[in-house]
């Protein structure tokens, strides 16, 4: 694991646990989400098909409606034909770190949320045998997301929503630099445990 992302995650964990002792309100949480990913770009000319991904993030709410979140995610889209050959997988993996605004909808158990984040991700291109044939190396991108938080009781919530990821990286293919612009819209459903 790289030093910067590890230190960032450690900072968020310390902030999360330091807030727990101050009052009984649940300010921290961990969310797992998964869903489909619809590509809106053709990295390196590859025609990507609908894919799949998941994300695990830690939350820390430091103000009544504003919080931090950080975590790790993975997303995979397949291209039947591309510069990498037939049936190549384009996988984006890495870290997310950002801000979340969350507000209750009246007196209901439902809240809406909006997120904006930075990414520190890379793109791996794999052949049909699952071998990595190209790796862009980690670099910065961005994410925006929104959805609802449905309180299920006992500090559990269901968190359906949409997110958009954008990552621009480069790889070297047979001595030529190829730009990979991987952008996708993802419909996700998550489960959040507050603590």
In a domain, 138, yes or no: yes
Residue corresponding to tokens 């070297």: 172
Decide if 121 contacts 142 (C-beta within 8 A): no
Q: Is residue 8 part of a domain?
A: no
**Per-residue pLDDT at 174:** 85
Farthest CA pair distance, the chain: 60
CATH number at residue 80: 2.40.160.20
Residues contacting residue 139 through CB under 8 Å, at least 6 positions apart: 120, 121, 122, 167, 168, 169
pLDDT at residue 184, as a whole number:
98
Q: Structure tokens of 182?
A: 């991987």
DSSP class per residue in 152-192: EETTEEE--EEEEEEEEEEEEETTEEEEEEEEEEEEEEEEE
In a domain, 143, yes or no: yes
Total count of domains within the chain: 1
pLDDT for position 173: 87
| Three-state DSSP class for residue 65 | coil
- Residue range(s) defining the domain that contains residue 168: 30-46+61-153+160-194
Q: What pLDDT sits at residue 22?
A: 46
Q: Output the CA torsion sign for 131, 134, 137, 140.
A: negative
The answer to whether residue 123 is domain-embedded is: yes
The predicted structure's pLDDT at residue 21: 43
Write down the pTM of the prediction: 0.85
123: closest CA among 101, 161, 93, 80? 93
Structural domain contains residue 20: no
Q: Are 145 and 112 in contact (CB under 8 A)?
A: no
Tens of pLDDT along the chain (195 residues) come to: 465 665 555 555 555 444 444 456 799 999 999 999 999 999 999 999 999 999 999 999 999 999 999 999 999 999 999 998 899 999 999 999 999 999 999 999 999 999 999 999 999 999 999 999 999 999 999 999 999 999 999 999 999 999 999 999 999 988 889 899 999 999 999 999 999
The CA-CA-CA angle for residues 119, 123, 129, to 5°, reads: 145
Q: Which residues contact 186 (CB under 8 A, 6 or more apart)?
A: 35, 36, 37, 38, 53, 75, 162, 163, 164, 165
Please give the Cα distance from 168 to 19 (Å, whole number).
36
Q: Is residue 145 part of a domain?
A: yes
């Amino acid at each position: 694991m790289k030093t910067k992302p590890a230190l960032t995650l450690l900072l968020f964990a310390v902030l999360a646990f330091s807030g727990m002792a101050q009052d009984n309100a649940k300010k921290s949480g961990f969310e797992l989400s998964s869903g489909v990913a619809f590509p809106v770009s053709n990295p390196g000319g590859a025609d990507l098909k609908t894919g799949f991904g998941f994300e695990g993030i830690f939350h820390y709410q430091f103000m009544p409606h504003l919080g931090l979140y950080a975590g790790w995610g993975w997303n995979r889209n397949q291209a039947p034909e591309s510069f990498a050959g037939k049936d190549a997988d384009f996988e984006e993996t890495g870290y997310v770190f950002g801000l979340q605004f969350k507000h209750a909808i009246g007196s209901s158990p439902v809240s809406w949320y909006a997120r904006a984040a930075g990414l520190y991700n890379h793109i791996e291109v794999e052949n049909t045998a699952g071998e990595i044939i190209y790796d862009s190396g980690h670099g910065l991108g961005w994410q925006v997301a929104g959805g609802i938080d449905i309180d299920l009781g006992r500090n559990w919530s269901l968190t359906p929503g949409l997110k958009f990821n954008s990552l621009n990286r480069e790889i070297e293919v047979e001595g030529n630099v190829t730009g990979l612009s991987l952008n996708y819209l993802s419909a996700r459903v998550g489960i959040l445990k507050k603590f």
